[in-house]
Amino acid sequence: MGGPPRGSERCVDDAHRQHGAWLRLQVAPDAEGLRRVRSAIDELAGSRMEILETARLLTSELVTNSIRHAGLRPGDAIRVVAGWTGTTLRVMVRDGGSGARAAAGVAGAIRPSPTGESGWGLFLVDRLATRWGTNLGGVPGFWFELEADERHDRRV
């Protein structure tokens, strides 16, 4: 009974990657959970190099935010749902935590202090995602989308 369920569902193969694929993961809020999420995103994005690196980075930032700031307790889980339509990758990270950001939402400037060692996650999401937000039907978390035909070389 130690820890959250570590289930996953995937529908990813070469045929589905062309016309739509999805994954659902539930991981522990730790380094191993983050590694599992990165691996799943790599598999889902496949050979779409124009979005793979950005998807891995942004997903890692959101999962890390959940680990650090959501106030998760032993046995809690982070849930990641991602879908690939063939042109758009949408990733949702939900944690159900009790951290202050869950109730407060995001408002105002996201840019962290230039000398800050933390606080860059949402700034990167804001700058690199095609779209992003915090509305997950009342459940704490974040989502972002990347368009495959978009150029992901926007300047941070």
pLDDT of residue 108: 45
pLDDT of residue 60: 94
Q: How confident is the model at residue 155 (pLDDT cuts 50, 70, 90)?
A: very low
What is the rounded distance in angstroms from the CA atom of residue 78 to the CA atom of residue 54?
A: 20
pLDDT of residue 73: 83
Nearest to 134 by CA among 122, 143, 125, 124: 143
What is the rounded distance in angstroms from the CA atom of residue 133 to the CA atom of residue 141?
A: 9
pLDDT of residue 118: 67
**Residue whose tokens read 């979005």:** 51
Tokens for 98?
Answer: 């009790």
Assigned CATH for 8-147: 3.30.565.10
DSSP per residue over 4-58, as a string?
----EEEE-SHHHHHH-EEEEEEE-SSHHHHHHHHHHHHHHHTT-HHHHHHHHHH
112-131 pLDDT, tens digit per residue, is 666 666 677 888 999 999 99
| Domain spans in the chain, listed from the N-terminal domain onward | 8-147
Q: How confident is the model at residue 109 (pLDDT cuts 50, 70, 90)?
A: low
Collapse the DSSP code of 149 into the 3-class scheme (helix H, G, I; strand E, B; otherwise coil) and give the result.
Answer: coil
Higher pLDDT, 10 or 42: 42
pTM summary value: 0.75
45-75 pLDDT, tens digit per residue, is 776 777 888 999 999 999 999 998 888 887 8
Contact 31, 66 (CB under 8 A): no
Helix or strand (DSSP H, E) at 80: strand 78-84
pLDDT of residue 116: 63
Contact 82, 56 (CB under 8 A): no
pLDDT of residue 14: 43
Higher pLDDT, 142 or 102: 142
